[in-house]
């Protein structure tokens, strides 16, 4: 990226963060290159390092304020998924190339995929190459270094499965509630 493009993107992002109205904020994010699928979601006051074109947001997804995305590879956020405040998603890590430890800790980049109907709590860090399955919850303060299966609650440093969630019961209740709403 050349310097003028970097400066333009930073200016646009600062202006975007000042915009309170959803539809205008979304338009600014689209101008920066964020891909919104089926109407996409919302990105609120989030810092991005890398290429905005690597961010894919599906319908009703949301990234809350103070989050930090290193978008050197693709970051895909599924539909109806929410990221709480100050979530960090890394698609690239590495040590200073002049450091003697670079042989032990090589530079690593890999995409991150977060499934549908996922909740990621405050201050969570997600490492490169992680896939979080559908209907999962990541507890606040967790560090996710490995893939998370569907329908579980994970937490801790590093994040481990705490319990399996009873998704089918909740889906049935949701379907019942939606049918009742349709009758009204």
| Amino acid 175: pLDDT | 53
3-state SS, residue 80? coil
For residue 2, is it within any domain?
no
Confidence at residue 100, expressed as pLDDT on a 0 to 100 scale: 81
Residue 19 lies in a domain: no
Q: Which residues of the chain have pLDDT under 50?
A: none
Does 156 fall in a domain? yes
Query: Does 29 reside within a domain?
Result: no
CATH number (domain holding residue 107): 2.160.10.10
Any domain includes 108: yes
Residue 138: what pLDDT? 96
Residue 77 belongs to a domain: yes
Total tally of structural domains belonging to the chain: 1
Angle at CA 68, nearest 5°, toward 8 and 75? 85
Which residue range(s) make up the domain with 101?
A: 34-183
Q: Is the dihedral of CA 64, 62, 55, 6 positive or negative?
A: negative
- Give a yes or no: residue 12 inside a domain: no
Q: What is the structure's pLDDT at 23?
A: 63
Asked whether residue 154 is domain-assigned, the answer is yes
| pLDDT tens readout for residues 118-144 | 999 999 999 999 999 999 999 999 999
């Amino acid at each position: 990226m050349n310097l003028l493009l970097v400066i333009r993107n930073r200016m646009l992002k600062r202006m975007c963060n000042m915009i309170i109205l959803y539809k205008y904020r979304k338009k600014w994010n689209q101008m920066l290159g964020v891909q919104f699928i089926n109407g996409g979601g919302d990105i609120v006051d989030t810092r991005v390092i890398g290429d905005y074109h690597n961010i894919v947001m599906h319908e009703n997804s949301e990234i809350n304020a103070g989050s930090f995305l290193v978008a050197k590879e693709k970051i895909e956020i599924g539909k109806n998924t929410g990221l709480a405040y100050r979530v960090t998603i890394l698609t690239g890590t590495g040590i200073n190339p002049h450091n003697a430890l670079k042989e032990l800790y090589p530079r690593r980049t890999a995409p991150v995929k977060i499934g549908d109907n996922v909740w990621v709590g405050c201050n969570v860090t997600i490492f490169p190459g992680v896939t979080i399955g559908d209907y999962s919850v990541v507890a606040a303060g967790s560090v996710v270094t490995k893939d998370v299966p569907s329908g579980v609650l994970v937490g801790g440093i590093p994040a481990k499965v705490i319990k399996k969630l009873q998704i089918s019961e909740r889906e049935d209740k949701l379907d019942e509630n939606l049918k009742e709403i349709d009758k009204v």
